[in-house]
Amino acid sequence: MEPREIKRGVYYVGAVDWDRRLFDSLIPLPDGTSYNSYLIKGKEKTALIDTVNPTMEQVLLNHLDELKLKKLDYLIANHAEQDHSGTIPRVLEKYPEARLVCTPRCKGMLIDLLLLPEDRFVTAEDRETISLGDRTLEFIHAPWVHWPETMFTYLKEDKILFSCDFFGSHLATSNLYVTDEAQVYEAAKRYYSEIMMPFRSNIQKNLEKIKDYAIDFICPSHGPVYDKPEFIIKAHRDWAFCEPKNIVVLPYVSMHGSTRKMVTYFVDALAQRGVTVKQFDLTVTDLGKLAMSLVDAATIVVATPTVHAGPHPAAAYAVSLANMVRANVKFASVIGSYGWGGKTVEQLVAMVPNLKVEFLPTVIVKGYPRQPDFEALDNLAETIAQKHREQGFK
């Protein structure tokens, strides 16, 4: 696709990666992604905000050629991660006069990650500005969205916030702007859950920090540009500030049907008590959907058989993911079956040191579940419903 003008002299020059299906060798990308880069031509100086993943470097360089960019004054690095910084060495080579602008912490990281020479850098303090002649860039330090060195760049005269990963979505689209808010909401929530949720208190601080800025456009570094940014700001405020909802997330795995029988019964028991359940078969589930469900849920109940004295590896992986994204759940439990013994519950509990949860009674069954086991599941469902009511989770 061609470079696209957002406002006079402000261009989208990034790359859409329709076919990528995995990020960080971990995160599923069902809808591809994009690496957004933006060129600002001021009256006296030009600035490029972020670059693209190295696999797409030629797309960015071609865009700069198409816009007849002969001289670049500033290359702004909002974030050191390689999907945005990976083409910096090539851009610095092509434009030898360009100075690389970033936070002091980002400078060290870029030197470590890309082996860049120190003399190309200019570091920006929080709220520091540079002039492009008729336009002003303000650098807003925004640590931990989602690395320690991150910052936003605000183009004052045009009221554009270049937010890097923040407000982003892994979504390949031919549209420059958001055209389907429901679709982008889903992609952005998935992105938030995987990337931003572990840093919830920092997200809150950074949302507060930009509260008083007039913002007409948000230009993130993944996904479409927001020309009506209110909806995505409100969505992030909901995700970062709101109490959990009356939801149980139930990731499960079953080998011979005992645990599955318990899951089926337990889902009904919760539903009868007015609790919403999100059930995930871990042998086939999209882990991004599981992570997304953990943004809102009040409770996680893991269902697993015992395999060689511990949890099934699929259950251990899901629990490790919930711990990594620091799910905002308040209650947790384990249900499942075993053949002759084991330490499944103890091992799973030890895997979630990041979760601030109250552990509820577990239901662990020898062999196939019987009537007393179903009664125990009813009791657990009742306890969860009651806890949610007491906390006011709706």
- Would you tell me which residues interact with ligand FEO (CB under 6 A)? 79, 81, 83-84, 146, 165, 221-222
Residues 349, 360 contacting (CB under 8 angstroms): no
One-character DSSP codes across 201-261: HHHHHHHHHTTTS--SEEEESSS-BBSSTHHHHHHHHHHHHSPPEEEEEEEE--SSSHHHH
Nearer residue to ligand FEO within complex by CB, 222 or 236: 222
CA distance 101 to 63: 21
**Amino acid identity for residue 15 in this structure:** A
Alpha-carbon gap, residue 154 to 161, rounded angstroms: 5
Minimum Å distance from CB 33 to ligand FEO?
8
Q: Cα separations (Å) of 390 from 95, 329, 356, 394?
A: 61, 15, 18, 10
Whether the Cβ atoms of residue 94 and residue 82 lie closer than 8 Å to each other: no
Phi, psi of 126 (to 5 degrees): -60, 130
Residue number with CB closer to ligand FEO (84 or 278): 84
Whole-number Å distance between alpha carbons of 26 and 260 = 27
Q: How far is the CB of 79 from ligand FEO (least distance, A)?
A: 5
Min. distance of Cβ 207 from ligand FEO in angstroms? 18
Looking at beta carbons, which residue is closest to ligand FEO? 81
Which C-beta is closer to ligand FEO: that of 80 or that of 348? Answer: 80
Q: Which is nearer to ligand FEO, 221 or 304 (CB)?
A: 221
- Of the two residues 20 and 135, which places its CB atom closer to ligand FEO in the complex? 20
Burial class (CB in 10 A: 0-12, 13-18, 19+), 274: exposed
Instruction: Compute the half-sphere exposure of residue 303: CA atoms within 13 Å on the CB side of its CA.
Output: 27
Q: Cβ 222 to ligand FEO, closest distance in Å?
A: 6
Looking at the Cβ atoms of 51 and 279, the one nearer to ligand FEO is 51
Rounded distance between C-alpha atoms, residue 345 and residue 284, angstroms: 23
* Cβ nearer to ligand FEO, comparing 84 with 330: 84
Q: How far is the CB of 147 from ligand FEO (least distance, A)?
A: 6
CB closer to ligand FEO out of 165 and 296: 165
- Is residue 235 within 8 A of residue 185, CB to CB? The reply is yes
Smallest separation, CB 154 to ligand FEO (Å)? 19
Going by the DSSP 8-state scheme, the letter that residue 38 receives in this structure is E
* Chain-centre distance for alpha carbon 259: 31
Measured from the CB of residue 165, what is the shortest distance to ligand FEO in angstroms?
A: 4
Instruction: In angstroms, give the least distance from the CB of 27 to ligand FEO.
Output: 10
